[in-house]
Chains A and B, each alone.
Chain A
Amino acid sequence: MTGARLRIFLPPIALLGVLLLLPAFGIQPNAVRLLFVTFVWMTASIAWNLLGGFAGQVSFGFAVFYGVGAYAAAILIDGGRLNPYLALVAAGMTAAIASVLIGLPTFRLRGPYFAIATIGVSETVRVVATNLEFTGGASGYRITEPRPFNQAEHYYTALIVAALAFAVSLFISRHKFGLGLIAINQDEDAAADTGVNPFVYKLKAHAVAAFLTGVAGGVFARYAAFIHPNGVFGFPISVQILLMPVIGGLGTVWGPVIGGVVIGVIEEEIVAYFPQVHLLIYGLLLIVIVLFEPGGILGAIRRLQRWVRRIRDRQAGKRTADARSKKPDEVLWGAGSGPGR
């Protein structure tokens, strides 16, 4: 039992430890920036996966929460002179409130109808934000902080937020809440017949996801010091947030983390040198995943592991055990048996 716990909790804690110590070893500002961006994306990725991966409710509207969080943080810090960390919490809460307002009508819809509705809501919000006075309209919003810019502070903020998102995701996957979400994902009516209130559960997952995404938007706004509606509320943001868990491994704890790293690297390293090429890469990645490996990168790794094990077992003359049964840590790593076993 403790061995299983160790396998679950040790890797993320070790990883967090390394990332906390990293700046002390004097890494390049460019690398810090890459990691910062990756943490911000990863947070949104983990958040989206709570609703889209666990509960199976595919939303194309997470730019709303990212944008609302970015603007709420920006206005509170710049105009309201609020402590930036309080402002980030407020940004998350504003996004969570927005998620309830959006969820109340849209969660009456199912499957593709829900997905389409979120596109409509998201575009509406973008157009409204472009025309609002107090947000600066289409020309954007500039954030000036009294304190001087400190890259390490931003790095740690983003890291802690991502770690928090991961902890929330891991907690949910191991408790009643996650079980209810997965039941809804599998069969919403059967879940209701078993005592789950699907509507309320979806609203809750939506709110938690929106909170985290809103905080991520706020963290980014503070760093960028300038935001505009077509950036933070743009449809490409929604698509990228959705792509990360899909690329990494939908409905798992580690999948959205891996997807966040992939998108972070693509955004920072490739977009800078080859603008627009990233769209082609996303398209290709998506086609490959949909056609060949619905489990994403984690799914591919698991497949590879099984393949290697089968060859090894065959050489050893053993009969391969059927991998039908689900091990408890499947939700961490995707289908198959535990890592390194």
Chain B
Amino acid sequence: MLEVRNLTKFFGGLAAVRDVSFEVRRGQIFGFIGPNGAGKTTLFNMIAGTYKPTSGQVLSCGRNITGYPSFRLVHEGIARTHQVVRPFRAMTVLDNVRVGAHFGRQGGDHKSAADRAMDALREVGLHHLTDSSAHVLSVGNQKKLEVARALATDPELLLCDEICGGLTRAETDAMLDLLRQIRDRGTTIMYVEHDVRAITAVCDRILVLNYGKKLSEGTPNEIQLDPAVIEAYLGAAPKGWNGKEVSEGTPEKVQNDPADIETYPGASAPRAKTGTDDE
């Protein structure tokens, strides 16, 4: 349903994304991993219309949608969340999501849009906080709000950028269940996450980015066995910063080793929750 051909983005002399091609099929959860600065967010920004690509094409169901502005892509059925959350801070949680319902693909009148906003809030589990100001939510709930707001636009393709960053393990698992649920009722998902465990658990297919280039693509199993990926990404994990070997084993074993989780930056170690919930 979405095809990306030779997509490239330069910031000055820096190629943030270079010559990346792939195809996302309907009903998939398509994952993207790669170290910090690999170009994942930049790739999303080009697909969602925030940046215009330097070159290359984005096709939706065969139609060229390269360089469309973001609001138009929302109407085409492509919605995104933000890695650094961007709620409408002074609005209530419900109003945040109502913006998506009113201005999304269906749009529509007051009542039905408000209903759709409530549905989206219920789906992510924020319906008990509808009247809170968005800025008093915890980071975890702000991430959920990002998902709800995007969902309310009624997307065919949902781009999720690190919606589990900063969440505890239990919260992450709940979020992954939510992604599966969204996929199962017909929305295709593109999903960026640092947490390799989360990505491999939920994705049908994964693309590995490194220095803006496509390093590898395949099913979670194929990716984990790809020597180039192990070398560039997972391969960094067994060695601690002091150069000593922390642990060794299959990718699966290494990922779940607490010593690695502590050493390897961006792995799934639960991070401290910030902010408070208004419950």
Residues of A within 8 Å of B74, CB to CB, are 193-195
| A189 proximity list for chain B (CB < 8 A) | 50, 70, 86
**CB atoms of A180 and B90 under 8 A apart:** no
Pair A190/B86 contact, Cβ less than 8 Å: yes
Contact status of A326 and B82, CB under 8 A, knowing A180-B102, A192-B70: no
- Say whether B48 contacts A175, CB under 8 Å: no
Inter-chain contacts of B92 with A (CB < 8 A): 325-326
Size bin of chain B's contact surface: 35 or more
The answer to the question of B115 belonging to the interface, with a C-beta cut-off of 8 Å to chain A, is no
Interface presence of B34 (CB below 8 A): no
B129-137, B163-171, B225-233, B238-246: which lies at the A interface?
Answer: B129-137
Is there contact, CB below 8 Å, between B99 and A180?
yes
Q: Are A192 and B86 in contact (CB under 8 A)?
A: no
Identify which of residues 120-165 in chain B touch chain A, using a CB-to-CB cut-off of 8 Å.
131-133, 136, 149-150, 153
Given the complex of chains A and B, what is the CA–CA distance between A308 and B8 in angstroms? 60
A183 interface hit (Cβ, 8 Å): yes
Neighbouring B residues of A83 by C-beta, 8 Å:
none
Instruction: Say yes or no: A195-B133 contact (C-beta < 8 A), given A175-B110, A190-B82.
Output: no
**B264 in the interface, Cβ–Cβ < 8 Å?**
no
Cα-based distance from A190 to B79 in the complex (angstroms): 11
Bound Cα distance from A198 to B99, whole angstroms: 13
| Residue from B87, B99, B136 in contact with A196 in the complex, judged by beta carbons closer than 8 Å | B99
Please tell me if A266 contacts chain B, counting CB pairs below 8 Å: no
Q: Check if B132 sits within 8 Å of A324, measured CB to CB.
A: yes
Contact B132 A190 (CB under 8 A): no
Say yes or no: A193-B99 contact (C-beta < 8 A), given A186-B88, A325-B131, A325-B133: no
Contact partner of B99 (CB less than 8 A), chosen from A194, A322, A326, A327, is A194
Closest residue of A by beta carbon distance from B69: A192
State whether B104 touches A179 (Cβ < 8 A).
no
* Neighbouring B residues of A183 by C-beta, 8 Å: 88, 91, 99, 103
Within 8 A of B (CB), among A162-209: 175-176, 179-180, 182-183, 186-187, 189-198
Mask of B166-183 contacts with A, CB within 8 angstroms, 1/0: 000000000000000000
Residues of A within 8 A of B98 (CB): 179
* Across-interface contacts of A325 in B (CB, < 8 A): 92, 131-133, 278
Q: Is B95 an interface residue (CB 8 A)?
A: yes
User: Within 8 Å CB of A196, what residues of B?
Assistant: 71, 99, 103
A193 touching B132, Cβ below 8 Å: no
- When distances are taken between beta carbons in the complex, the residues of chain B under 8 Å from A182 are 88, 90-91, 95
Q: Are B70 and A179 in contact, CB atoms less than 8 angstroms apart?
A: no
A191 to B87, CA, bound (A): 9
The yes or no answer to B197 lying at the interface (CB within 8 A) is: no
Residue of B nearest to A196 (CB): B103
| Chain A residues proximal to chain B, CB less than 8 Å | 175-176, 179-180, 182-183, 186-187, 189-198, 322, 324-327
- With A183-B91, A193-B74, A326-B91 known, 11 other A-B pairs at CB within 8 A are A175-B110, A176-B110, A182-B90, A189-B86, A191-B88, A192-B70, A193-B79, A194-B100, A195-B104, A322-B278, A324-B136
A-B interface, 6 closest residue pairs, ranked by CB to CB distance from nearest? A195-B103, A195-B74, A186-B88, A190-B86, A325-B131, A192-B70
Could you give 7 example pairs across A and B, Cβ below 8 Å? A179-B98, A194-B104, A195-B79, A195-B102, A198-B71, A324-B136, A324-B278
